[in-house]
């Protein structure tokens, strides 16, 4: 109902200089939702630094302290989709009303609203209503309000009304405590020097930090090998290399869906509409071309399709690019965007 993930709690959100302000502001908001000057509370920072985690933690804590309050977590992407659906189904007013009666509204990744004027407009009205009624709004974004693009001025100014708190790259000590906390929760023991080695080498993204530890544990248990510093070195190297290349299947889906001005949910959907099918086939084709993922893995990440569908997509894209001029242009344009 509230879409909150109870695993993302304050207890599990390790404190450090990099997140102290945002974390304390979150705690203050959770203690008195709507009753502080941090309204909206906007948490911003790069990928994998804990924005989603912290946003959930605030919601979970509020729900704990004030069970009677309605708390809703939603991604800006889903919010946009719901809004578009409501317009199609002629119940835009129901949509607005639904959001206006919420006590605590948490919208994740508001940068997604950029360029989406209709959704911005409706959110502006919902925001004003909530704010005037002393309800709490919590937002996250990958950029500070001053750096956001294609967001209407009046909405940006609302974003700045409360507090904007940045999540920065965690320092070494914080990275070590995040890893230790994770290992402790998973009941895994790991030598100190290995934890430190991983924390020293993966610096800019907590998700990757955790990912490296997870691979390390998996590698050692699959191969029945001890976790050694050599194994750690191998895995860390892979992580660092992979992130330099930066073309992930997620990124490909984002580029392709942006190019066709649809969202990722649409791209992955079961529809047979031609332009959506083509977008999906292009995403599969580029995933095959630019990543090392298997056909099966590409299929499962792009709308839960099987490997035969991906193979078919790759062939179709090959064929169409040699017979259809317009289609060839799509391939060239997207290719450029992915390789800059
Ligand atoms: P973002 O939304 O900023 O991309 P997430 O909230 O998804 O990042 O965080 C990525 C991962 O890192 C999650 O598994 C999250 O639990 C973890 N994480 C981030 N910051 C911390 C922290 N301070 N303490 C513990 N785990 C963290
Ligand atoms: Mg997030």
Domains of the chain: residue spans and CATH:
20-167 (3.40.50.300), 172-245 (1.10.8.60), 249-339 (1.10.1750.10)
Largest CA distance in the chain: 62
Helices in the chain by DSSP H: which ranges? Answer: 20-31, 51-65, 76-88, 92-100, 117-132, 153-159, 172-186, 192-201, 206-222, 229-245, 249-259, 264-268, 274-290, 295-301, 307-323, 325-339
Give residue 246's pLDDT.
Answer: 54
Sign of CA dihedral 24, 30, 31, 37: positive
Per the CB < 8 A criterion, the answer to whether 202 and 209 are in contact is yes
Give the span between the Cα atoms of 77 and 83, in whole angstroms. Answer: 10
Ligand approaching nearest to the C-alpha of 108: 2
Measured in whole angstroms, how far is the alpha carbon of residue 163 from the centre of its chain? 21
The encoded tokens of residue 58 equal 């605030």
Q: Which numbered atom of ligand 1 lies nearest the CA of 167?
A: 3
Q: Which numbered atom of ligand 1 lies nearest the CA of 23?
A: 23
- Which residue is associated with the tokens 């994770």? 182
Q: pTM for the complete prediction?
A: 0.74
Report the percentage of the chain scoring pLDDT > 70: 98
Would you place residue 210 in the very low, low, confident or very high pLDDT band (cuts 50, 70, 90)? very high
Question: What number is the average pLDDT over the span 292-300?
Answer: 91
Give the span between the Cα atoms of 87 and 93, in whole angstroms. Answer: 9
**Closest C-alpha residue for ligand 1 atom 19:** 50
Give the mutation target among 47, 206, 208, 250 for probing the ligand 1 site: most ligand atoms within 8 A of CB.
206
Of residues 226 and 108, more confidently modeled: 108
Give the span between the Cα atoms of 142 and 137, in whole angstroms. Answer: 17
Would you place residue 247 in the very low, low, confident or very high pLDDT band (cuts 50, 70, 90)? confident
37 HSE (CA, 13 A, CB side): 3
From 54-58, 66-70, 215-219, 265-269, the region with the lowest mean pLDDT: 215-219
- Which residue is associated with the tokens 């599969």? 284
Give strand pairing partners of 166: 44
Ligand approaching nearest to the C-alpha of 202: 1
pLDDT above 60 for 215? yes
Q: Which numbered atom of ligand 1 lies nearest the CA of 13?
A: 24
Ligand 2: centre distance to CA 240 (Å): 21
Report the percentage of the chain scoring pLDDT > 90: 84
ipTM > 0.90, yes or no: yes
Would you place residue 290 in the very low, low, confident or very high pLDDT band (cuts 50, 70, 90)? confident
Would you place residue 226 in the very low, low, confident or very high pLDDT band (cuts 50, 70, 90)? confident
Would you place residue 219 in the very low, low, confident or very high pLDDT band (cuts 50, 70, 90)? confident
Count CB atoms within 10 A of the CB of residue 258: 14
Per the CB < 8 A criterion, the answer to whether 118 and 129 are in contact is no
Per the CB < 8 A criterion, the answer to whether 45 and 166 are in contact is yes
Give the span between the Cα atoms of 28 and 141, in whole angstroms. Answer: 20
Give residue 276's pLDDT.
Answer: 96
Radius of gyration of the chain (CA): 22
Would you place residue 242 in the very low, low, confident or very high pLDDT band (cuts 50, 70, 90)? low
Give residue 180's pLDDT.
Answer: 96
The encoded tokens of residue 154 equal 């009046």
Question: What number is the average pLDDT over the span 167-176?
Answer: 96
Ligand 1: centre distance to CA 241 (Å): 21
| Residue ranges around ligand 1 (CB below 6 Å) | 12-14, 19, 45, 47-53, 178, 206-207, 210
Give residue 184's pLDDT.
Answer: 93
Ligand 1: centre distance to CA 48 (Å): 6
pLDDT above 90 for 139? yes
Ligand 1: centre distance to CA 50 (Å): 3
Ligand 2: centre distance to CA 40 (Å): 18
Ligand 2: centre distance to CA 48 (Å): 7
Ligand approaching nearest to the C-alpha of 109: 2
Would you place residue 204 in the very low, low, confident or very high pLDDT band (cuts 50, 70, 90)? confident
């Amino acid at each position: 109902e509230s879409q909150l993930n109870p695993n993302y709690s304050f207890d599990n959100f390790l404190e450090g200089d990099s997140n102290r302000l945002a974390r304390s502001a979150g705690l203050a908001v959770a203690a008195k939702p709507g009753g502080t000057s941090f309204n909206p509370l906007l948490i911003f920072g790069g990928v994998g630094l804990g924005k989603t985690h912290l946003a959930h933690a605030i919601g979970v804590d509020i729900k704990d302290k004030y069970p009677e309050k309605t708390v809703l977590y939603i991604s800006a992407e889903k919010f946009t989709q719901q809004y578009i659906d409501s317009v199609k189904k002629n119940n835009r007013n129901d949509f607005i009303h639904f959001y206006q009666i919420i006590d605590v509204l948490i919208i994740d990744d508001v940068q997604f609203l950029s360029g989406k004027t209709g959704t911005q407009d409706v959110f502006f009205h919902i925001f004003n209503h909530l704010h005037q009624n002393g309800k709490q709004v919590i937002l996250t974004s990958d950029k500070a309000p001053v750096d956001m693009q294609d967001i209407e001025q009046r909405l940006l100014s609302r974003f700045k009304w409360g507090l904007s708190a940045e999540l920065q790259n965690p320092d070494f000590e914080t990275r070590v405590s995040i890893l230790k906390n994770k290992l402790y929760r998973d009941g895994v023991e790991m030598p100190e020097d290995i934890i430190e080695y991983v924390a020293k080498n993966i610096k800019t993204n907590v998700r990757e930090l955790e990912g490296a530890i997870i691979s390390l544990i998996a590698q050692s248990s699959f191969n029945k090998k001890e976790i050694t510093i050599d194994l750690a070195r191998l895995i860390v190297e892979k992580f660092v290399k992979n992130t330099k290349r930066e073309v992930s299947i997620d990124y490909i889906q984002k580029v392709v869906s942006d190019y066709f001005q649809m969202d990722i949910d649409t791209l992955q959907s079961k529809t047979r509409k031609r332009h959506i099918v083509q977008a999906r086939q292009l995403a599969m084709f580029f995933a095959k071309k630019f990543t090392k993922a298997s056909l099966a893995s590409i299929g499962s990440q792009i709308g839960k399709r099987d490997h035969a569908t991906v193979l078919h997509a790759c062939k179709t894209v090959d064929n169409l690019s040699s017979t259809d001029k317009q289609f060839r242009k799509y391939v060239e344009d997207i290719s450029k965007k992915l390789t800059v």
